[in-house]
Amino acid sequence: MNPTPKPGILEISPYVGGRASVPGVAKVFKLSSNESSLGPSPAALAAIDQAKASIALYPEGSAALLRQAIAEFHKLDPARIVTSGDGSDALLTMLANAYLQPGDEAIFSQHAFLVYKIATLANSARPVIVPEKNTNQAIKVDVDAMLAAVTPKTRMVYIANPNNPTGSYLTRDEMAKLHAGLPRHVLLVIDAAYSEYVTAKDYEAGIEMVSAFDNVVMTRTFSKMYGLAGLRIGWMYAPAAICDTINRIRGPFNTALLQQLAGIAALKDREHFWRSVEHNNKWLPWITAEIRKLGLRVDDSAANFVLIHFPQGEKNAAAADAFLNKGGIILRSVASYGLPDCLRMTVGTEEQNRLAVTLLQQFMAA
């Protein structure tokens, strides 16, 4: 008999990222993967240059300097941080590897980030997918429904806050209610990949909750606001026992020297960070308002992207996608997230945003 993977693995649909090219179109703008349109800090690029001299050597295995820098900036205990050189994706996966056994259940919402399902199935556990609330201008996680889905088999709950691809977020109080309704042995994983973009006063990224409880983890990334998606740096803040667990199973040198040094430099460049914040604060509302003027539903977003709804019929999402592609703009089809009538658009540069809106105007008017 041939080698057979663990039960669940062959049920996984491999993750397909946002497209980066369009056949026959030479110049395209990629607004399909929620990357930063301002790119990385020049200081991060300089750090990468410096790191080249030491590349023959293994890096320090615990990423101590990067953890120290993260800890100082966020006022955390560095011993309660674990970094990853394969993005926060790898941390979300390692948490499932560590805490899910065959037959266990992991709960997440209907339009949640796809990695949760992959990580759950990879551990022969059962994904429990909970419907979200769809109101006029937002599709949002339903905390009561999430809690109603808890069974004696539940071991993990994943929440992206804000969520991708809906852009909605749960408030501090909603997160507190969710946590309060979970048994203490259930691990609540707060995926705060987009937390740097949130301006709402009633939002809390997860630091307070991790500090207060033994069953909460927060994951973060340098891929979004810090403009380093290609470098794949993620980190998590977690109770000591959970860090100890993940440190036992992670790769011994799982955060490369380039990643450690670039991450530190990116964190320290607050000017670049605030430029990126301001850019989003200017263009997210502009995109939302301009596309709504075309009669399309655009959901309120707390992140660096918007979810655009298209009608059935000839102005549908697939037709819009094809039209935009021809004009050099690539958005993200989100059919794999259960949203076949929507496209997700990342906030781009001024030129990209204006072109996308102009093309959508032309598409709707045609």
Question: Rule CB under 6 A: which residues touch ligand PLP?
Answer: 34, 87-89, 113, 160, 164, 191, 193, 221, 223, 229, 234
In the complex, what is the shortest distance from the CB of residue 26 to ligand PLP, in angstroms, rounded to a whole number?
27
In the complex, what is the shortest distance from the CB of residue 326 to ligand PLP, in angstroms, rounded to a whole number?
26
In the complex, what is the shortest distance from the CB of residue 365 to ligand PLP, in angstroms, rounded to a whole number?
32
Question: Nearer Cβ to ligand PLP, position 190 or 359?
Answer: 190
Closest of 192, 172, 255, 245 to residue 215, by C-alpha? 245
Question: Nearer Cβ to ligand PLP, position 84 or 363?
Answer: 84
**Nearest residue to ligand PLP, scored by beta-carbon proximity:** 87
Question: Nearer Cβ to ligand PLP, position 221 or 276?
Answer: 221
Question: Nearer Cβ to ligand PLP, position 168 or 221?
Answer: 221
Enumerate the β-bridge partners of residue 305. 346
Question: Nearer Cβ to ligand PLP, position 160 or 355?
Answer: 160
In the complex, what is the shortest distance from the CB of residue 161 to ligand PLP, in angstroms, rounded to a whole number?
9
In the complex, what is the shortest distance from the CB of residue 2 to ligand PLP, in angstroms, rounded to a whole number?
32
In the complex, what is the shortest distance from the CB of residue 306 to ligand PLP, in angstroms, rounded to a whole number?
14
Question: Nearer Cβ to ligand PLP, position 127 or 234?
Answer: 234
Peptide bond preceding 23: is omega within 30 degrees of 0, i.e. cis?
A: no
Longest Cα–Cα distance of the chain, Å, equals 60
In the complex, what is the shortest distance from the CB of residue 221 to ligand PLP, in angstroms, rounded to a whole number?
3
The encoded tokens of residue 30 equal 């990629």
CA distance 15 to 332: 13
Question: Nearer Cβ to ligand PLP, position 223 or 290?
Answer: 223
CA distance 26 to 9: 38
